[in-house]
Amino acid sequence: MSVIGLDVGTTGCKAIVFNEEGDILGQAAREYPVLTPQPNWAEQDAERVWYLAQEALQEAVGKAGGGTGPEALALSVQGEAVIPVDGDGKPLRPAILGMDARTGEENAWLLKTFGGESLFQKTGMPVHTVNTLPKLLWLQRHEPELWQEADQFLLYEDFFLRRLGGAATISHCLASRTQMYDLEQGVWAEDLLTACDIDVGRLARLAPEEGGVVGRLRKDLAAGLGFEGDVMLVSGGHDQACAALGSGVVEAGLAMDSTGTAEVVEVAMTSPALSEELREGDISVYRHVVPGLFVAMTLNHSGGLLLRWFRDTLSEADVERARVEGEDPYDVILADAPEGPTGLLVMPHFAGKGTPGFDTTSRGAIAGLTFATTHADIAKGILEGLTFELRANVDLLREAGAPIEELHAVGGGARSSLWLQLKADICHVPLRVPRVTEAACLGAALLAGVGCGVYENVWEAVDATVRFDRRVEPRPSSSEAYEKVYAVYEELYPALISLQRRLP
């Protein structure tokens, strides 16, 4: 018996077929762009994403071969994207993504009307442009004809489920990231929605609280994609929560570091600890895909997206060399990286400053350049800067009472031994690397497996599939060297932000 997890991320999608032991039987991936038609905007062609995801599903199922094919499918998706759809479930405009920062005025209205503390206590979401609620308010104000025309306003999970054959159904996990969900009651916050003139009937219906089957894959679509037999559609969740499940974060106190397009730390907890420290640090708190648990989430929008920018914009020769030699481009780019601190300070705010203390006005910067600086120095400096941001988030979570004793490292960044060691050294924390680092797909597949009866529950699923390949320990001498650099890095953003805000 096999199951399939489909991960729909910000810059690409992956489909992976797993057997009951968590072995990969077939996989495929596709990339797609983030559109920036105006400054601070981030949009996406959701119809293109839908088409490419079908390609990935078909290829993964084809590679898996044999047997009856996957019996169930669940989705792991990027959060906060808004997709207005017509009566047939087709997009009426490009999706507005989580990293979009156009909603400053809408957030000012939310703060004035409800107050930041009140919204955080109800929804677990600090007031910020990342949230879905202000994006809907923006559509009301700036695209009123579309607002009236739209049948529903969906996120990627419910958008896909509606197209795959089920109704537009959203997991409690993903719904709780919208700033429209009552975290304590476990329902759409209808009082908040009414005050914002949003009809709850135009949102997706909530899946059963414990997850499970929410529909069946359309027969015609199943045949075209290479599936055989009846395929169950199972409630999935936010990609980071699915990755936490796929990395074994199924008990309070366990934590994950996920490095994909963005970099995220998630810490599991038994109740939503809505402390002032977390709100002031803009740390979101929402429902885990694991029943009965919640997660606190940090966010750095740059993450792997910054490395991709460096690869595509400034590393043409290395990319060509990697193609010719059959190597990973990032391995070639970092092959000559120096030992120890580079002497550079790279502030990786290319998509604004993430947590703690979101600031969409901040920009990227590189300090310490000389004529002796090499291409590899800058590449490693980017890794150092990203890891300094990780350190600030780990420190905040610890100060707020989360006992982070180790991090489960997943995502593309978990394949880099250099980056893993930097994280251990700079953050003073060991990292454990699971056998399957594509943990979001695995987490979604495990939910599919529970839904179709392969596993009794998620804990049994993790016991059967999640194995760790290695553990990376901090090196005292390197930790000491980076501690001195980090002390300087902490002064970089305060020193630059007033100058950056004067730039056109």
Interval 77-134: pLDDT, tens: 999 999 999 999 999 999 999 989 999 999 999 999 999 999 999 999 999 899 999 9
Predicted confidence (pLDDT) at residue 336 exceeds the cutoff of 90: yes
156: nearest Cα among 231, 225, 70, 94: 94
Q: Cα–Cα distances in Å, from 11 out to 30, 53, 224, 265, 385?
A: 9, 12, 25, 19, 22
Domains along the chain? Answer: 2-247 (3.30.420.40)
Average pLDDT over residues 340-364: 93
What percent of the chain clears pLDDT 90, i.e. is strictly above it?
A: 87
68 falls in which pLDDT band (50, 70, 90)?
low
| pTM of the predicted protein model | 0.91
Task: Give the tens place of pLDDT for each residue, 148-158.
Answer: 999 999 999 99
Higher-scoring residue by pLDDT: 411, 185? 185
Other beta carbons within 10 angstroms of residue 145's beta carbon come to 8
> Lowest-confidence range among 106-120, 274-288, 376-390, 482-496?
274-288
Q: Report which secondary-structure segment, H or E, holds 444.
A: helix 439-451
DSSP helix/strand/coil, 482: helix
- Residue 470: beta bridge partners? 433
Rg of the chain over Cα atoms, rounded to whole angstroms, equals 22
The first and second tokens of residue 425, run together, are 């050294």
Which pair of tokens denotes residue 48? 């293109």
pLDDT tens for 177-220 read: 999 999 999 999 999 999 999 999 999 999 998 889 999 999 99
d(CA 327, CA 330): 9
Question: For residue 105, what are the contacts with CB-CB under 8 A and spacing of at least 6?
Answer: none
pLDDT at position 428 over 80: yes
Give the HSE-up count for residue 37: Cα atoms under 13 Å, Cβ half-sphere.
Answer: 9
- Render pLDDT for 227-277 as a digit per residue (tens, 0 to 9): 988 999 999 999 999 999 999 999 999 999 999 888 999 999 998 888 888
Q: How far apart are CA 42 and CA 219, in angstroms?
A: 35
> Taking the mean position of all CA atoms in its chain, how far away is CA 17?
21
CB 189 within 8 A of CB 206: no
Task: Reduce the DSSP state of residue 76 to 3 states and report it.
Answer: strand
Q: How many CA atoms lie within 13 A of 5 on its CB side?
A: 33
Q: Give alpha helix (H) positions in 143-235.
A: 144-149, 156-164, 172-175, 190-195, 219-225
Give the CB-side neighbour count of residue 386, counting CA atoms within 13 A. Answer: 32
Cα distance between the two ends of the chain: 57
How many CB atoms neighbour CB 136 within 10 A? 26
* Half-sphere exposure at residue 165, Cβ-oriented, CA atoms within 13 angstroms: 18
How many CB atoms lie under 10 A from the CB of residue 66? 8
pLDDT in tens, 10-47: 989 999 999 999 999 999 999 999 999 998 899 999 99
Which residues are CB-contacts of 356 (< 8 A; sequence separation ≥ 6)?
Answer: 280, 281, 282, 283, 298, 392, 393, 396
- How many degrees, rounded to 5, is the angle at CA 41 between CA 35 and CA 46? 45
Residue with tokens 């957030």: 107
pLDDT value of residue 160: 98
For the cut 70, the answer to whether the pLDDT of residue 468 exceeds it is yes
